[in-house]
Each structure stands twice: as structure tokens, then as C-alpha cells.
Amino acid sequence: MEILILTDAHAGQYNLNFWDIYNKTEENFNFKKVITLGDMIDLWRTNLDDCLIQNEDNINFLKKKCINIRGNHDYVLPEITKIKYYDEYNFKDFWFIHGHQIEANMSDLPFMSQDDYIKIAKRMCYCSKPIAKILEYLYGIYKTGSNSNIFRIQKVLQLAEVLYDNVVFGHYHKYRDNNNIKTLPALCDGYYTIWNTKENEFKIYKLH
Ligand SMILES: [Mn+2]
């Protein structure tokens, strides 16, 4: 069985049509399922109402075609749309999460709990674009601390290995595959993933 996995489209920030992308990718595969790993809609960098109107089609796609996991940038979508969202989803020995959960476990954020992280994520979704921009800037400084981004991502991946077995996540827009942990590249960078469940193989493709 082949499953299409999409993550981090950040629609709203970027102009993407999920139906077009789906139709393009479907030419080569016969999917039984589509799983999305969060941040498919970006409510942090857009005004909420405008974003919902602009992405009506995309939201419809998520509703009709996908098993959805929510990310930090679309955290409040289950509250404001009729889409069913999971925080984590288990299928055939793999756990699917968005990935922001790992950030909240980083040891360099001793003063930020999972609950605090979620509060920030929610507020960023609801506040207007200029305010969210300022908050995101401050959050970026706070998150990065003294670590460079590359060092930080390495640390996140190490922590993911300690915390999880057989986990697949997006959030970092990076591809890495070492058997029990897989991080997938972002749809907004033009990548999608096909999971062949029989061979247990995750293959990355570039949209063209
Ligand atoms: Mn994210």
C-alpha cells in the first residue's frame, strides 16, 4: 500500500493548491490514504479570517482526503473548522507527530513547559499579522538562545531519538531517515513523501 504524506505546506504564507498537488502526485501513484503532519495552513503569518477565506479549497481538501495531525502554525484549526485533527497518529508501527513537541522538551528551554508552548502557539494563530510578526521575532530569539540553528536541529534530532521509537515528523523542513526516526521535508519547499507500507520505505519526491 502506498500512502501520500504531506507536511508543512504553510498555505496562506505561500500560495498553494492542495488539490492540484494531489492530482499531480496521483498520476504516478495509487494512494489509499493521505496523511498530513501539520502546519498545512499557516495561521501565524496571516490574518485568521483572511487566511480561512483564501484557503477554503485547501481546508476542504484536508477535510475530505486526509488524516490530519495539527502543527504549531495551525494549532487552532480543530476549534474553528470541522476538520478532525489528531495530536499524534499511529499506523502500522509508526507514530506520526508534527514535531513541535520535541522543541518543548529541549533542555535549553527550562522555563517553557509543553503547556506554555501550546499557549504561545494558540495566541500566534489568533492574533493579527503585525502583532504575530513581532511575537514570532521575539519567539525566534527566545527559541534559538545561544545555539545556532544547525546545532539546534542536530540537538532536536538527538532528542527525538531518545524520546521516540518509529516516529515520523515534519516541522523542521528537513529530511533525515535513520530507520526509527524520519523527518520529512516541507511541501512549501516542493517536497512530498510516499510511504510504501509493504516495503516500509519512505521516499522523497520533488514536485514539478
Ligand atoms: Mn511547525
pLDDT at 147: 56
Report which of 52, 29, 80 is spatially closest to residue 203, judged by C-alpha positions: 29
Q: What is the DSSP string of the chain?
A: -EEEEE----BTTB---HHHHHHHHHTT--EEEEEE-S-SB--SSS-HHHHHHHTHHHHHHHHHHEEEE--STTTTHHHHSS--EESEEEETTEEEE-SHHHHTT-TT-TT--HHHHHHHHHHHHHS-HHHHHHHHHHHHHHHHTTS-HHHHHHHHHHHHHHH-SSEEE-SS---EE-SSEEE---GGGTEEEEEETTTTEEEEEE--
Q: Residue 169 Cα, ligand 1 centroid: separation in angstroms?
A: 10
In order of their start, the domains of the chain are: 2-206 (3.60.21.10)
Task: Please give the model's pTM, rounded to 2 decimal places.
Answer: 0.91
- Ligand 1 ion local residues (Cβ < 5 A): 39, 71-72, 171
Q: How far is the CA of 101 from the centre of ligand 1 (A)?
A: 9
Mean pLDDT of 28-57: 94
Q: How far is the CA of 118 from the centre of ligand 1 (A)?
A: 12
- Averaged pLDDT, 39-44: 96
Give me the residue label for grid cell 500560495: 15
- Can you give the pLDDT at residue 179? 82
145 pLDDT higher than 70: no
